[in-house]
Amino acid sequence: MLVLKMVADNGQEIGMFSWFAIHPVSMNKTNRLVSSDNIGYAAYLFEQEKNEGYLPGKGPYVAAFAASNLGDVSPNTKGPHCINTGEPCENMGSYCPVGGPIVAHLSGLATIQLGTGDRWRQERGWGYAHSDHMSSADHASAAAQ
């Protein structure tokens, strides 16, 4: 994890960028909601913590979680399941005995029904981890030109 902490001349924290190796999409194809998915929600939560009393996107502090060397790192860690039975797929081809491949969906941090759920706990965890890194970050300064 790489975190860039931004501090104003007066010492006030004004933002951070974090590069973390995880694929930014954790909602599966059953999601019908407009969403910034996992890294967008992590940034939202982090900004809400730092911008207490401000509406989302209106505070002075800006947080961004960017993709890094993610490769094929998927947050869908629970593997393919059959949405009609709830059982794991029988083979690596993601094929369900009843319904075939069309009812096979990957799952992980998000629940299948709403595309939410445990995912939010993950982003809160990222936010708290980044808070810890931010408070212990060494200060390096350079003059802006």
Render pLDDT for 110-134 as a digit per residue (tens, 0 to 9). 544 444 444 444 445 555 555 555 5
Binding residues for Zn(2+): 23
Residue 58 CA to residue 10 CA, distance in Å, equals: 21
Q: How many CA atoms lie within 13 A of 137 on its CB side?
A: 22
Q: Is 74 a catalytic residue?
A: yes
Render pLDDT for 33-62 as a digit per residue (tens, 0 to 9). 766 677 888 889 899 999 999 999 999 999
What number is the average pLDDT over the span 6-31? 82
Q: What is the dihedral of CA 87, 73, 126, 15, to 10 degrees?
A: -150
CB neighbours (10 Å) of residue 101? 12
From 74, 131, 135, 136, the catalytic residue: 74
